[in-house]
Chain A
């Protein structure tokens, strides 16, 4: 069995748009090495579909423009076969593609965090950092629920 897969995407050069990457870093720092597999990407491409194969749980981390800065939402992703060719896919489309080519299903979640600024810059705003910490905490809860791993060392959970 492979490790749970975390796919963090966004643009690290646009301030809080990179908060998914930061959430993945925080999660990795709080887990034993190899406990999760983390992929970082600027956007979701079809090639990522093969990476979902065998993962017992998949979590997408992304920034959200429609959330209050610092807020997070975790939701289950359902496969979406309504495909329109474009340069990137949504988590639901990538999930559908993965299910089609691997002929298996797996629990998939998307955790998004609200942004304060997405101008040019490599650092998160304080609100972006807060979103990232909450996203990592939400992912830890999902890992615990789906893979029964301990979340006792989740130092950022109450941040």
Chain B
């Protein structure tokens, strides 16, 4: 037996490694994606007042703090027992869309475009954002600009780009001024133009990756995400839908607060990242995917004209549902377009400057669940409080954990496809990393296995022969 270790996996958010186990013939026997960092937010928030949770939980991540603000505030809304003012929901949506724009731009341009523009086999010395800027400055320029626009909108609304404290239990802390509305509105045409240029450029680029489309986590699975209740794309509210690999709806109208009935989580011995699965199908058969690809697979359409046009084009070319995780990249582009269109619609709402943006109440429930769509997929925060409103228990289910089973299968599939004669060429190594990048995992967000830390320690000799193995369960 021989083992190949890729450590660290690069150009992702967080710290991880991949182990590929070969058999005696040099063929891939198994491959695993290990998350090597640990976080403990579910424990450290205990005994804190519930109204601190949005700001506390936003510190989980510097890339998608807004997602945690939204899901956490929704859980707190449920503890308060309030329906927030309609304009507060609109404003929360705008900030969430802005964050989706900046996060998707980061993933596609800063992290994955070196593979896509320069090629999976390009020298590692040039396979980075600077290499893209040298080879295709217009791509880098648009990518940087798109991320900047998303960041600036978050800053205009919340006062700062990272960890804004503007989304609060009961709504948002301040209404939108006319000046700020116009400032945001003025940026949107620039974003639309950059996205349309990018989509045009990438259309032919993506067609060069037939082997990657075939092998990048390309298998039947379930897809899970929010809809607006009528089958359109939804990021902030609404019931969950699950479709299968044929596109058939197998569950619809699922309420977030009922999640223990349909979602399960398993802690593995070799990773701090838990694996979520669809409970009715059991573990690991209930593998499902979330995020841009899943969202587009489970909706009838986006609900905005430009994004719908691009989704139609993609479906006409590649079919529906899309099973290859390589299509996460295209899905991100379509979602960015949709996010900008929806921000324009929301800003045009006649009541967007309404000053009624927050509901106040004392805790009216000892439990609250908040769910929303983060850039990487469905995000859930669940809190229980005592009579004084102090957090007694918290559970977070993060998008990356929900994709963990699929990522592991994807890593193995790519390894089987590209590892030859027991050797990992630089191009093959990059493809193993690139399949992980396609999911855009955020490991800082998703390692919350506090209290469930099974571990396996293998003792190997100098040749890699296994001498001893100790396993500790949860």
By beta carbon, the residue of chain B nearest A99 is: B133
Chain A nearest CB: distance from B237 CB in Å? 30
A 92-129 to B, binary, CB cutoff 8 A, 1 in contact else 0: 01001100111100000000000000000000000000
CA distance A135 to B6 in the complex (A): 45
Q: Say whether, besides A100-B140, A101-B137, A81 and B130 are in contact (CB < 8 Å).
A: yes
Q: B144–A47 contact, CB under 8 A? A: yes
Q: Is A49 an interface residue (CB 8 A)?
A: yes
Q: Is B36 an interface residue (CB 8 A)?
A: no
Q: Say whether, besides A83-B129, A83-B130, A101 and B10 are in contact (CB < 8 Å).
A: no
Contact size class for A? Answer: 10 to 19
Neighbouring B residues of A85 by C-beta, 8 Å: 10-11, 128-129
Main secondary structure of the interface of A (DSSP, over half): helix
Q: A100–B145 contact, CB under 8 A? A: no
Q: Is A56 an interface residue (CB 8 A)?
A: no
Q: Say whether, besides A46-B110, A47-B147, A47-B148, A83 and B141 are in contact (CB < 8 Å).
A: no
Chain A nearest CB: distance from B113 CB in Å? 12
CA distance A102 to B137 in the complex (A): 8
Give residues 42-96 of A contacting B (CB, 8 Å).
46-47, 49-50, 81, 83-85, 93, 96
Neighbouring B residues of A47 by C-beta, 8 Å: 144, 147-148, 151
Q: Say whether, besides A85-B11, A85-B128, A50 and B148 are in contact (CB < 8 Å).
A: yes
Q: Is B266 an interface residue (CB 8 A)?
A: no
Neighbouring A residues of B141 by C-beta, 8 Å: 50, 101-102
Q: Say whether, besides A83-B129, A83-B130, A96-B130, A101 and B147 are in contact (CB < 8 Å).
A: no
By beta carbon, the residue of chain B nearest A46 is: B144
Q: Say whether, besides A85-B11, A97-B129, A50 and B134 are in contact (CB < 8 Å).
A: no
Give residues 91-129 of B contacting A (CB, 8 Å).
110, 128-129
* Residue from A50, A84, A96 in contact with B145 in the complex, judged by beta carbons closer than 8 Å: A50
Neighbouring B residues of A46 by C-beta, 8 Å: 110, 129, 144, 147
CA distance A84 to B110 in the complex (A): 12
Chain B nearest CB: distance from A44 CB in Å? 13
Q: B145–A97 contact, CB under 8 A? A: no
A 5-24 to B, binary, CB cutoff 8 A, 1 in contact else 0: 00000000000000000000
Residue of A46, A49, A100, A101 with most chain B CB atoms under a 10 A cut-off: A101
Chain B nearest CB: distance from A28 CB in Å? 20
B 132-160 to A, binary, CB cutoff 8 A, 1 in contact else 0: 01100100110011011001000000000
CA distance A76 to B459 in the complex (A): 53
Q: B144–A101 contact, CB under 8 A? A: yes
* Residue from B10, B130, B147 in contact with A97 in the complex, judged by beta carbons closer than 8 Å: B130
Neighbouring A residues of B151 by C-beta, 8 Å: 47
Chain A nearest CB: distance from B151 CB in Å? 6
Question: Can you name 18 A-B pairs with beta carbons within 8 Å?
Answer: A46-B110, A46-B129, A46-B147, A47-B144, A50-B145, A50-B148, A81-B134, A83-B129, A83-B130, A84-B128, A93-B130, A97-B130, A97-B140, A97-B144, A100-B137, A100-B140, A101-B144, A102-B141
CA distance A47 to B148 in the complex (A): 5
CA distance A85 to B106 in the complex (A): 12
Neighbouring B residues of A50 by C-beta, 8 Å: 141, 144-145, 148
Chain B nearest CB: distance from A85 CB in Å? 6
Q: B10–A100 contact, CB under 8 A? A: no
Chain B nearest CB: distance from A95 CB in Å? 12
Neighbouring B residues of A49 by C-beta, 8 Å: 144
Neighbouring B residues of A103 by C-beta, 8 Å: 137
Chain B nearest CB: distance from A86 CB in Å? 11
By beta carbon, the residue of chain A nearest B151 is: A47
Q: B133–A97 contact, CB under 8 A? A: yes
Neighbouring A residues of B140 by C-beta, 8 Å: 97, 100-101
Q: Say whether, besides A47-B147, A50-B144, A85-B10, A101 and B128 are in contact (CB < 8 Å).
A: no
Chain A nearest CB: distance from B347 CB in Å? 22
CA distance A102 to B131 in the complex (A): 14
Nearest 10 pairs of A and B residues by beta carbon: A100-B133, A83-B130, A47-B148, A101-B141, A101-B137, A101-B140, A83-B128, A101-B133, A100-B134, A46-B144
B 32-46 to A, binary, CB cutoff 8 A, 1 in contact else 0: 000000000000000
Neighbouring B residues of A84 by C-beta, 8 Å: 128
CA distance A81 to B140 in the complex (A): 15
CA distance A42 to B281 in the complex (A): 48
CA distance A47 to B137 in the complex (A): 14
Neighbouring A residues of B137 by C-beta, 8 Å: 100-103
CA distance A100 to B130 in the complex (A): 8
Neighbouring B residues of A101 by C-beta, 8 Å: 133, 137, 140-141, 144
CA distance A87 to B64 in the complex (A): 15
Chain A nearest CB: distance from B283 CB in Å? 35
CA distance A124 to B129 in the complex (A): 36
Chain B nearest CB: distance from A11 CB in Å? 13
By beta carbon, the residue of chain A nearest B13 is: A87
Chain A nearest CB: distance from B14 CB in Å? 12
Neighbouring A residues of B145 by C-beta, 8 Å: 50
Neighbouring A residues of B110 by C-beta, 8 Å: 46
CA distance A46 to B147 in the complex (A): 9
Neighbouring B residues of A102 by C-beta, 8 Å: 137, 141
CA distance A81 to B128 in the complex (A): 11
CA distance A103 to B134 in the complex (A): 9
CA distance A46 to B133 in the complex (A): 11
Chain A nearest CB: distance from B304 CB in Å? 25
CA distance A97 to B147 in the complex (A): 15
CA distance A97 to B133 in the complex (A): 7
